[in-house]
Protein backbone atom coordinates (compact mmCIF):
# COMPACT_ATOMS: atom_id res chain seq x y z
CA UNK A 1 0.00 0.00 0.00
CA UNK A 2 0.96 3.63 -0.12
CA UNK A 3 3.54 4.62 2.44
CA UNK A 4 1.60 7.85 2.84
CA UNK A 5 -1.53 5.90 3.66
CA UNK A 6 0.29 3.87 6.32
CA UNK A 7 1.62 7.04 7.91
CA UNK A 8 -1.84 8.62 8.01
CA UNK A 9 -3.42 5.69 9.88
CA UNK A 10 -3.98 6.05 13.61
CA UNK A 11 -1.42 4.20 15.71
CA UNK A 12 -2.45 0.84 17.15
CA UNK A 13 -0.28 -1.65 18.98
CA UNK A 14 -1.62 -4.82 17.39
CA UNK A 15 -1.56 -4.88 13.59
CA UNK A 16 -1.65 -8.67 13.39
CA UNK A 17 1.15 -11.12 12.67
CA UNK A 18 3.93 -9.65 10.56
CA UNK A 19 7.14 -10.90 8.96
CA UNK A 20 5.78 -14.38 8.37
CA UNK A 21 7.91 -16.84 6.41
CA UNK A 22 7.21 -17.20 2.71
CA UNK A 23 6.67 -20.57 1.08
CA UNK A 24 7.00 -21.57 -2.56
CA UNK A 25 5.38 -24.72 -3.91
CA UNK A 26 7.77 -26.88 -5.97
CA UNK A 27 7.39 -26.22 -9.70
CA UNK A 28 5.60 -29.48 -10.50
CA UNK A 29 3.23 -29.03 -7.56
CA UNK A 30 2.57 -25.43 -8.53
CA UNK A 31 1.75 -26.43 -12.10
CA UNK A 32 -0.72 -29.09 -10.92
CA UNK A 33 -2.45 -26.60 -8.62
CA UNK A 34 -2.64 -24.01 -11.40
CA UNK A 35 -4.33 -26.50 -13.70
CA UNK A 36 -6.71 -27.54 -10.91
CA UNK A 37 -7.62 -23.90 -10.27
CA UNK A 38 -8.19 -23.32 -13.99
CA UNK A 39 -10.65 -26.24 -14.09
CA UNK A 40 -12.46 -24.90 -11.01
CA UNK A 41 -12.80 -21.47 -12.65
CA UNK A 42 -13.99 -23.05 -15.88
CA UNK A 43 -16.76 -24.88 -14.02
CA UNK A 44 -17.71 -21.94 -11.81
CA UNK A 45 -21.08 -20.25 -12.26
CA UNK A 46 -20.45 -17.47 -9.74
CA UNK A 47 -16.77 -16.64 -9.25
CA UNK A 48 -15.85 -14.00 -6.66
CA UNK A 49 -12.28 -12.74 -6.22
CA UNK A 50 -11.05 -11.38 -2.88
CA UNK A 51 -7.80 -9.39 -3.10
CA UNK A 52 -5.15 -8.03 -0.76
CA UNK A 53 -1.86 -6.15 -0.94
CA UNK A 54 -0.06 -9.08 -2.55
CA UNK A 55 -1.60 -8.39 -5.95
CA UNK A 56 -0.07 -4.89 -6.02
CA UNK A 57 3.52 -5.55 -4.95
CA UNK A 58 4.51 -6.14 -8.58
CA UNK A 59 3.10 -2.65 -9.28
CA UNK A 60 5.80 -1.17 -7.03
CA UNK A 61 3.55 -0.78 -3.98
CA UNK A 62 4.97 -2.28 -0.75
CA UNK A 63 2.76 -4.62 1.28
CA UNK A 64 2.28 -4.51 5.05
CA UNK A 65 3.10 -7.87 6.61
CA UNK A 66 5.54 -9.55 4.21
CA UNK A 67 9.24 -9.96 5.10
CA UNK A 68 9.87 -6.48 3.67
CA UNK A 69 6.42 -5.08 4.45
CA UNK A 70 5.85 -1.67 5.99
CA UNK A 71 4.76 -2.91 9.40
CA UNK A 72 7.33 -5.70 9.45
CA UNK A 73 10.18 -3.24 8.96
CA UNK A 74 8.65 -0.80 11.45
CA UNK A 75 8.50 -3.57 14.07
CA UNK A 76 12.17 -4.37 13.38
CA UNK A 77 13.21 -0.72 13.58
CA UNK A 78 14.45 -0.71 9.98
CA UNK A 79 14.04 1.88 7.24
CA UNK A 80 10.73 1.66 5.42
CA UNK A 81 10.63 0.32 1.85
CA UNK A 82 10.70 2.83 -0.95
CA UNK A 83 8.16 2.74 -3.74
CA UNK A 84 9.67 2.40 -7.21
CA UNK A 85 7.45 5.17 -8.63
CA UNK A 86 4.98 7.78 -7.37
CA UNK A 87 1.86 6.21 -5.84
CA UNK A 88 -0.42 8.05 -8.25
CA UNK A 89 1.46 6.55 -11.22
CA UNK A 90 1.19 2.92 -10.11
CA UNK A 91 -0.31 0.82 -12.89
CA UNK A 92 -2.39 -2.35 -12.73
CA UNK A 93 -0.48 -5.63 -12.74
CA UNK A 94 -0.90 -8.70 -14.89
CA UNK A 95 -3.29 -10.02 -12.24
CA UNK A 96 -5.45 -6.88 -12.29
CA UNK A 97 -5.78 -7.06 -16.06
CA UNK A 98 -6.46 -10.81 -16.06
CA UNK A 99 -9.41 -10.16 -13.74
CA UNK A 100 -10.68 -7.57 -16.22
CA UNK A 101 -10.66 -10.20 -18.98
CA UNK A 102 -12.42 -12.75 -16.78
CA UNK A 103 -15.10 -10.16 -15.97
CA UNK A 104 -15.57 -9.24 -19.63
CA UNK A 105 -15.95 -12.92 -20.46
CA UNK A 106 -18.76 -13.23 -17.90
CA UNK A 107 -16.79 -15.62 -15.69
CA UNK A 108 -15.91 -13.24 -12.84
CA UNK A 109 -19.04 -11.90 -11.17
CA UNK A 110 -17.63 -9.70 -8.40
CA UNK A 111 -14.36 -8.37 -6.92
CA UNK A 112 -13.84 -7.58 -3.24
CA UNK A 113 -10.68 -5.65 -2.41
CA UNK A 114 -9.03 -4.64 0.85
CA UNK A 115 -6.61 -2.39 -1.06
CA UNK A 116 -6.82 1.39 -1.17
CA UNK A 117 -4.63 1.82 -4.28
CA UNK A 118 -7.56 2.19 -6.70
CA UNK A 119 -5.96 -0.16 -9.24
CA UNK A 120 -9.05 -2.33 -9.75
CA UNK A 121 -11.03 0.70 -10.90
CA UNK A 122 -8.16 1.95 -13.05
CA UNK A 123 -7.83 -1.48 -14.65
CA UNK A 124 -11.42 -1.43 -15.89
CA UNK A 125 -13.41 -3.45 -13.36
CA UNK A 126 -16.90 -1.85 -13.38
CA UNK A 127 -17.69 0.04 -10.18
CA UNK A 128 -20.94 -1.90 -9.72
CA UNK A 129 -18.94 -5.14 -9.65
CA UNK A 130 -16.40 -3.95 -7.09
CA UNK A 131 -16.40 -3.48 -3.32
CA UNK A 132 -13.46 -1.47 -2.00
CA UNK A 133 -13.92 -2.41 1.62
CA UNK A 134 -11.34 -0.06 3.09
CA UNK A 135 -11.80 2.76 0.61
CA UNK A 136 -9.81 4.26 -2.24
CA UNK A 137 -6.99 6.78 -1.86
CA UNK A 138 -8.02 8.41 -5.13
CA UNK A 139 -11.75 8.61 -4.48
CA UNK A 140 -13.78 11.41 -2.93
CA UNK A 141 -17.43 10.96 -2.06
CA UNK A 142 -20.33 13.26 -1.37
CA UNK A 143 -22.02 12.49 1.99
CA UNK A 144 -25.15 14.29 0.80
CA UNK A 145 -26.01 12.88 -2.63
CA UNK A 146 -23.63 9.91 -2.79
CA UNK A 147 -21.70 11.07 -5.88
CA UNK A 148 -18.18 9.65 -6.27
CA UNK A 149 -15.17 11.39 -7.81
CA UNK A 150 -12.14 9.38 -8.97
CA UNK A 151 -9.08 11.65 -8.95
CA UNK A 152 -5.70 11.45 -10.67
CA UNK A 153 -4.08 12.64 -7.42
CA UNK A 154 -4.02 11.05 -3.96
CA UNK A 155 -6.67 12.60 -1.71
CA UNK A 156 -4.92 14.39 1.14
CA UNK A 157 -6.79 12.86 4.09
CA UNK A 158 -8.06 9.50 5.37
CA UNK A 159 -10.67 8.62 7.97
CA UNK A 160 -13.73 9.92 6.09
CA UNK A 161 -12.73 13.54 6.70
CA UNK A 162 -13.81 16.58 4.72
CA UNK A 163 -11.51 17.57 1.87
CA UNK A 164 -11.00 20.96 0.25
CA UNK A 165 -13.43 20.32 -2.62
CA UNK A 166 -17.20 20.37 -3.06
CA UNK A 167 -19.70 18.22 -4.93
CA UNK A 168 -20.27 19.43 -8.48
CA UNK A 169 -23.75 17.91 -8.77
CA UNK A 170 -26.26 20.65 -9.53
CA UNK A 171 -28.23 21.77 -6.45
CA UNK A 172 -25.89 19.86 -4.13
CA UNK A 173 -22.49 21.49 -3.55
CA UNK A 174 -21.84 19.69 -0.27
CA UNK A 175 -18.29 19.36 1.04
CA UNK A 176 -16.67 16.14 -0.16
CA UNK A 177 -15.04 13.54 2.08
CA UNK A 178 -12.24 11.05 1.52
CA UNK A 179 -13.30 7.40 1.29
CA UNK A 180 -10.45 5.65 3.15
CA UNK A 181 -11.19 4.06 6.52
CA UNK A 182 -9.06 4.48 9.61
CA UNK A 183 -8.77 1.65 12.14
CA UNK A 184 -11.85 2.61 14.15
CA UNK A 185 -14.13 3.17 11.14
CA UNK A 186 -16.81 0.57 10.38
CA UNK A 187 -17.04 -0.96 6.93
CA UNK A 188 -19.57 1.09 4.95
CA UNK A 189 -22.81 -0.74 4.05
CA UNK A 190 -22.39 0.38 0.43
CA UNK A 191 -19.30 -1.84 0.20
CA UNK A 192 -19.87 -4.64 2.73
CA UNK A 193 -23.48 -5.46 1.79
CA UNK A 194 -22.86 -6.43 -1.87
CA UNK A 195 -19.65 -8.18 -0.83
CA UNK A 196 -21.56 -10.40 1.62
CA UNK A 197 -24.31 -11.00 -0.94
CA UNK A 198 -21.91 -12.20 -3.64
CA UNK A 199 -19.87 -14.36 -1.23
CA UNK A 200 -23.07 -16.15 -0.20
CA UNK A 201 -23.93 -16.69 -3.88
CA UNK A 202 -20.43 -17.78 -4.86
CA UNK A 203 -19.56 -21.32 -5.81
CA UNK A 204 -15.89 -20.30 -5.82
CA UNK A 205 -14.10 -17.54 -3.90
CA UNK A 206 -10.53 -16.97 -5.07
CA UNK A 207 -8.36 -15.16 -2.48
CA UNK A 208 -5.33 -13.47 -4.02
CA UNK A 209 -2.41 -11.96 -2.12
CA UNK A 210 -4.03 -11.56 1.28
CA UNK A 211 -2.98 -12.80 4.73
CA UNK A 212 -6.67 -12.92 5.71
CA UNK A 213 -6.05 -11.35 9.12
CA UNK A 214 -8.10 -8.13 9.12
CA UNK A 215 -11.60 -8.60 10.51
CA UNK A 216 -14.39 -8.51 9.55
CA UNK A 217 -13.19 -8.55 5.94
CA UNK A 218 -11.23 -11.81 6.29
CA UNK A 219 -14.42 -13.74 7.16
CA UNK A 220 -16.23 -12.83 3.94
CA UNK A 221 -14.84 -15.71 1.84
CA UNK A 222 -16.14 -18.21 4.41
CA UNK A 223 -19.72 -17.20 3.65
CA UNK A 224 -19.63 -19.26 0.45
CA UNK A 225 -19.16 -22.51 2.39
CA UNK A 226 -22.73 -22.72 3.69
CA UNK A 227 -24.02 -22.89 0.12
CA UNK A 228 -21.46 -25.50 -0.90
CA UNK A 229 -18.97 -23.04 -2.38
CA UNK A 230 -15.22 -23.59 -2.49
CA UNK A 231 -12.29 -21.42 -1.44
CA UNK A 232 -8.88 -21.19 -3.10
CA UNK A 233 -6.11 -19.16 -1.45
CA UNK A 234 -3.07 -17.91 -3.38
CA UNK A 235 -0.53 -16.36 -1.01
CA UNK A 236 3.14 -16.72 -0.15
CA UNK A 237 2.45 -16.92 3.61
CA UNK A 238 0.19 -19.26 5.50
CA UNK A 239 -3.15 -17.75 6.54
CA UNK A 240 -5.60 -18.43 9.41
CA UNK A 241 -8.15 -19.61 6.81
CA UNK A 242 -5.98 -22.22 5.06
CA UNK A 243 -7.78 -25.10 6.77
CA UNK A 244 -11.08 -23.91 5.33
CA UNK A 245 -9.72 -23.75 1.77
CA UNK A 246 -10.10 -26.47 -0.84
CA UNK A 247 -6.78 -25.50 -2.45
CA UNK A 248 -3.91 -23.45 -1.02
CA UNK A 249 -1.29 -22.27 -3.51
CA UNK A 250 2.02 -20.86 -2.32
CA UNK A 251 3.34 -18.87 -5.25
CA UNK A 252 3.59 -15.40 -6.75
CA UNK A 253 0.10 -14.21 -7.63
CA UNK A 254 1.10 -12.98 -11.09
CA UNK A 255 2.74 -16.31 -11.89
CA UNK A 256 -0.29 -18.30 -10.77
CA UNK A 257 -2.78 -16.10 -12.59
CA UNK A 258 -0.65 -16.12 -15.76
CA UNK A 259 -0.70 -19.91 -15.67
CA UNK A 260 -4.46 -20.01 -15.13
CA UNK A 261 -5.09 -17.69 -18.08
CA UNK A 262 -2.86 -19.79 -20.30
CA UNK A 263 -4.68 -22.95 -19.22
CA UNK A 264 -8.00 -21.25 -20.04
CA UNK A 265 -6.56 -20.14 -23.40
CA UNK A 266 -7.37 -16.52 -22.53
CA UNK A 267 -5.23 -13.48 -23.28
CA UNK A 268 -4.44 -10.78 -20.75
CA UNK A 269 -5.49 -7.39 -22.16
CA UNK A 270 -3.08 -4.43 -22.24
CA UNK A 271 -3.43 -1.54 -19.85
CA UNK A 272 -3.66 1.91 -21.42
CA UNK A 273 -3.63 4.83 -19.01
CA UNK A 274 -5.38 7.95 -20.27
CA UNK A 275 -5.15 11.18 -18.31
CA UNK A 276 -7.21 14.35 -18.74
CA UNK A 277 -6.32 18.02 -18.54
CA UNK A 278 -7.93 21.21 -19.76
CA UNK A 279 -6.57 24.26 -21.55
CA UNK A 280 -8.47 27.47 -20.78
CA UNK A 281 -7.97 30.56 -22.92
CA UNK A 282 -9.58 33.73 -21.54
CA UNK A 283 -9.67 36.96 -23.57
CA UNK A 284 -10.78 40.53 -22.81
CA UNK A 285 -10.55 43.87 -24.58
CA UNK A 286 -8.31 46.48 -23.01
CA UNK A 287 -9.86 49.71 -21.75
CA UNK A 288 -9.10 51.56 -25.01
CA UNK A 289 -10.31 48.49 -26.98
CA UNK A 290 -7.07 48.42 -29.02
CA UNK A 291 -5.55 45.32 -27.42
CA UNK A 292 -6.53 41.87 -26.26
CA UNK A 293 -5.50 40.89 -22.73
CA UNK A 294 -5.49 37.11 -22.61
CA UNK A 295 -4.65 34.37 -20.16
CA UNK A 296 -3.62 30.81 -20.93
CA UNK A 297 -4.13 28.24 -18.17
CA UNK A 298 -3.43 24.50 -18.20
CA UNK A 299 -5.48 23.02 -15.38
CA UNK A 300 -6.86 19.84 -13.86
CA UNK A 301 -10.33 18.72 -14.87
CA UNK A 302 -10.97 18.29 -11.12
CA UNK A 303 -10.89 22.05 -10.52
CA UNK A 304 -8.62 25.03 -11.10
CA UNK A 305 -7.00 24.68 -7.68
CA UNK A 306 -6.26 20.94 -8.05
CA UNK A 307 -2.76 19.79 -8.91
CA UNK A 308 -1.79 18.08 -12.17
CA UNK A 309 0.56 15.41 -10.79
CA UNK A 310 1.40 13.89 -14.17
CA UNK A 311 2.55 17.13 -15.82
CA UNK A 312 6.02 18.49 -15.08
CA UNK A 313 6.08 21.60 -17.25
CA UNK A 314 4.52 23.37 -20.25
CA UNK A 315 6.61 24.92 -23.02
CA UNK A 316 4.75 27.70 -24.85
CA UNK A 317 5.79 29.10 -28.23
CA UNK A 318 4.15 30.94 -31.13
CA UNK A 319 3.93 31.00 -34.92
CA UNK A 320 7.27 31.68 -36.57
CA UNK A 321 6.11 35.07 -37.86
CA UNK A 322 5.30 36.30 -34.35
CA UNK A 323 7.74 38.10 -32.06
CA UNK A 324 6.20 37.01 -28.79
CA UNK A 325 8.54 35.61 -26.22
CA UNK A 326 8.44 31.87 -25.63
CA UNK A 327 7.81 30.69 -22.09
CA UNK A 328 8.37 27.63 -19.92
CA UNK A 329 5.74 27.11 -17.23
CA UNK A 330 7.37 24.85 -14.65
CA UNK A 331 5.37 25.66 -11.53
CA UNK A 332 1.73 24.96 -10.81
CA UNK A 333 -0.65 26.58 -11.47
CA UNK A 334 0.45 26.62 -15.12
CA UNK A 335 -0.57 30.16 -16.04
CA UNK A 336 0.60 32.72 -18.60
CA UNK A 337 -0.68 36.25 -19.38
CA UNK A 338 -0.08 38.21 -22.59
CA UNK A 339 -1.32 41.30 -24.47
CA UNK A 340 -1.67 41.34 -28.25
CA UNK A 341 -3.10 43.65 -30.92
CA UNK A 342 -6.83 43.26 -31.39
CA UNK A 343 -6.81 41.99 -34.98
CA UNK A 344 -3.89 39.57 -34.73
CA UNK A 345 -4.35 35.89 -35.47
CA UNK A 346 -1.69 33.27 -34.80
CA UNK A 347 -1.07 29.79 -33.41
CA UNK A 348 0.00 28.97 -29.88
CA UNK A 349 2.12 25.83 -29.62
CA UNK A 350 2.21 23.85 -26.39
CA UNK A 351 4.63 21.11 -25.48
CA UNK A 352 3.21 19.32 -22.45
CA UNK A 353 6.06 17.56 -20.61
CA UNK A 354 5.03 14.65 -18.41
CA UNK A 355 6.45 13.80 -15.00
CA UNK A 356 8.39 10.74 -13.85
CA UNK A 357 6.29 7.61 -13.79
CA UNK A 358 4.74 8.31 -17.19
CA UNK A 359 5.84 6.27 -20.19
CA UNK A 360 5.18 9.18 -22.51
CA UNK A 361 7.69 12.03 -22.47
CA UNK A 362 5.51 14.77 -23.94
CA UNK A 363 2.59 15.74 -26.15
CA UNK A 364 2.54 18.63 -28.62
CA UNK A 365 -0.60 20.68 -29.23
CA UNK A 366 -1.52 23.65 -31.39
CA UNK A 367 -4.17 26.26 -30.55
CA UNK A 368 -5.41 28.87 -33.05
CA UNK A 369 -5.79 32.35 -31.54
CA UNK A 370 -8.39 34.71 -32.95
CA UNK A 371 -10.47 37.19 -30.97
CA UNK A 372 -14.19 37.20 -31.75
CA UNK A 373 -16.93 38.91 -29.80
CA UNK A 374 -19.53 36.31 -28.81
CA UNK A 375 -22.90 36.84 -27.18
CA UNK A 376 -23.79 33.30 -26.26
CA UNK A 377 -22.48 30.33 -24.40
CA UNK A 378 -21.88 27.27 -26.52
CA UNK A 379 -20.53 23.78 -26.36
CA UNK A 380 -19.46 21.22 -28.91
CA UNK A 381 -20.97 17.73 -28.87
CA UNK A 382 -18.13 15.21 -28.82
CA UNK A 383 -18.44 11.45 -28.37
CA UNK A 384 -16.02 11.16 -25.46
CA UNK A 385 -16.11 7.38 -25.23
CA UNK A 386 -15.42 7.02 -28.95
CA UNK A 387 -12.38 9.31 -28.64
CA UNK A 388 -11.06 7.37 -25.63
CA UNK A 389 -11.53 4.03 -27.36
CA UNK A 390 -9.74 5.31 -30.46
CA UNK A 391 -6.80 6.47 -28.34
CA UNK A 392 -6.56 3.07 -26.62
CA UNK A 393 -6.64 1.18 -29.91
CA UNK A 394 -4.05 3.44 -31.50
CA UNK A 395 -1.71 3.17 -28.50
CA UNK A 396 -1.86 -0.63 -28.56
CA UNK A 397 -1.53 -0.82 -32.34
CA UNK A 398 1.51 1.47 -32.35
CA UNK A 399 2.96 0.17 -29.05
CA UNK A 400 3.56 3.75 -28.02
CA UNK A 401 2.17 6.60 -25.92
CA UNK A 402 1.57 10.32 -26.35
CA UNK A 403 -1.57 10.20 -28.50
CA UNK A 404 -4.10 12.89 -27.60
CA UNK A 405 -7.60 13.94 -28.55
CA UNK A 406 -10.25 16.47 -27.60
CA UNK A 407 -13.06 15.04 -25.45
CA UNK A 408 -14.84 18.28 -24.52
CA UNK A 409 -14.98 21.86 -25.80
CA UNK A 410 -17.00 24.66 -24.25
CA UNK A 411 -17.10 28.44 -24.48
CA UNK A 412 -18.65 31.26 -22.46
CA UNK A 413 -19.22 34.85 -23.51
CA UNK A 414 -18.35 36.91 -20.42
CA UNK A 415 -15.49 36.98 -19.88
CA UNK A 416 -14.81 35.44 -23.27
CA UNK A 417 -13.32 32.07 -22.47
CA UNK A 418 -12.84 28.72 -24.16
CA UNK A 419 -11.98 25.50 -22.37
CA UNK A 420 -10.72 22.44 -24.26
CA UNK A 421 -10.41 19.14 -22.39
CA UNK A 422 -7.73 16.84 -23.78
CA UNK A 423 -7.32 13.11 -23.20
CA UNK A 424 -3.77 11.84 -23.57
CA UNK A 425 -2.18 8.40 -23.37
CA UNK A 426 0.52 8.67 -20.71
CA UNK A 427 1.33 4.99 -20.06
CA UNK A 428 0.99 1.62 -21.74
CA UNK A 429 1.55 -1.92 -20.51
CA UNK A 430 1.11 -5.03 -22.61
CA UNK A 431 1.49 -8.47 -21.11
CA UNK A 432 2.97 -11.56 -22.68
CA UNK A 433 3.10 -14.62 -20.46
CA UNK A 434 4.47 -17.99 -21.42
CA UNK A 435 4.68 -21.08 -19.26
CA UNK A 436 6.44 -24.37 -19.79
CA UNK A 437 8.59 -26.73 -17.75
CA UNK A 438 12.35 -26.70 -18.22
CA UNK A 439 14.21 -29.99 -18.24
CA UNK A 440 15.22 -29.39 -14.62
CA UNK A 441 11.57 -29.08 -13.60
CA UNK A 442 11.71 -25.32 -13.08
CA UNK A 443 8.67 -23.39 -14.23
CA UNK A 444 9.47 -20.96 -17.01
CA UNK A 445 7.45 -17.79 -16.82
CA UNK A 446 7.94 -14.64 -18.81
CA UNK A 447 6.34 -11.26 -18.38
CA UNK A 448 6.95 -8.52 -20.89
CA UNK A 449 5.68 -4.99 -20.55
CA UNK A 450 5.94 -2.45 -23.32
CA UNK A 451 6.18 1.29 -22.92
CA UNK A 452 8.12 4.18 -24.37
CA UNK A 453 11.59 5.42 -23.62
CA UNK A 454 11.94 7.81 -20.71
CA UNK A 455 14.68 9.87 -22.37
CA UNK A 456 13.79 13.49 -21.92
CA UNK A 457 14.41 16.56 -24.01
CA UNK A 458 14.15 20.02 -22.57
CA UNK A 459 15.41 21.86 -25.63
CA UNK A 460 12.03 23.43 -26.36
CA UNK A 461 12.35 22.68 -30.08
CA UNK A 462 9.11 22.48 -31.96
CA UNK A 463 8.00 20.00 -34.55
CA UNK A 464 7.79 20.96 -38.18
CA UNK A 465 4.59 22.61 -39.39
CA UNK A 466 3.54 19.31 -41.02
CA UNK A 467 3.99 17.47 -37.73
CA UNK A 468 2.13 20.20 -35.88
CA UNK A 469 -0.83 19.82 -38.21
CA UNK A 470 -0.98 16.11 -37.35
CA UNK A 471 -1.20 16.81 -33.62
CA UNK A 472 -3.93 19.42 -33.85
CA UNK A 473 -7.10 18.45 -32.08
Question: For residue 303, what are the CA distances in angstroms to 150, 167, 168, 264?
Answer: 13, 11, 10, 44
Active site annotation includes 134: yes
Q: Do the annotations mark residue 218 as ligand-binding?
A: no
| Residue of 355, 350, 351, 359 whose CA lies nearest to 308 | 355
Rounded Cα distance between 444 and 175, Å, is: 52
> Which strands make up the sheet holding 139-141, listed edge to edge?
148-150, 139-141, 175-178, 162-166
Q: Do the annotations mark residue 433 as ligand-binding?
A: no
What SS3 state is found at 103?
A: helix
What SS3 state is found at 437?
A: strand
Q: Exactly one of 134, 198, 250, 302 is catalytic; which is it?
A: 134
Structural contact between residues 165 and 303, judged by C-beta atoms closer than 8 angstroms: yes
Q: How far is CA 422 from the centre of its chain?
A: 18
Helices and strands of the chain, counted as H and E runs: 9, 22
Query: At CA 334, angle to CA 308 and CA 138, rounded to 5?
Result: 10
DSSP classification of residue 303? B
Q: How far is CA 442 from the centre of its chain?
A: 34
What SS3 state is found at 294?
A: strand
Q: Do the annotations mark residue 172 as ligand-binding?
A: yes
Question: For residue 247, what are the CA distances in angstroms to 29, 234, 268?
Answer: 12, 8, 24
| Burial status of residue 51 (CB atoms within 10 A of its CB: 0-12, 13-18, 19 or more) | buried
Angle between helices 253-263 and 27-43 (to 10 degrees): 60
Count CA within 13 A, CB hemisphere, residue 107: 20
Rounded Cα distance between 368 and 384, Å, is: 22
| Residue of 242, 120, 124 whose CA lies nearest to 191 | 120
Rounded Cα distance between 173 and 166, Å, is: 5
Residues flagged as binding site:
142, 145, 167, 172
Instruction: Please list the active-site residues.
Output: 134
Residues that constitute the known binding site for Zn(2+):
142, 145, 167, 172
Amino acid sequence: MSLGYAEKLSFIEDVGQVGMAEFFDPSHVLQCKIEELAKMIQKSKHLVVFTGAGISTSCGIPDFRGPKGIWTLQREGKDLPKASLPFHRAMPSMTHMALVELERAGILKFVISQNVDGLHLRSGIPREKLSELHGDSFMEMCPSCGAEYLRDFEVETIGLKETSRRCSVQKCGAKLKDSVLDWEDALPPKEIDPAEKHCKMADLVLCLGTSLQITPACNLPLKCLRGGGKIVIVNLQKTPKDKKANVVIHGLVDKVVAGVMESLNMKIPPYVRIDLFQIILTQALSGDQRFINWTLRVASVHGLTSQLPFIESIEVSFSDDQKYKDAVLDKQPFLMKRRTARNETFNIFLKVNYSDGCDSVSTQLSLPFEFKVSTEERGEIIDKEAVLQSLREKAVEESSCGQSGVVERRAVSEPRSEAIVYATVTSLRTFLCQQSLHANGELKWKLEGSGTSRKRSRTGKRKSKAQEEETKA
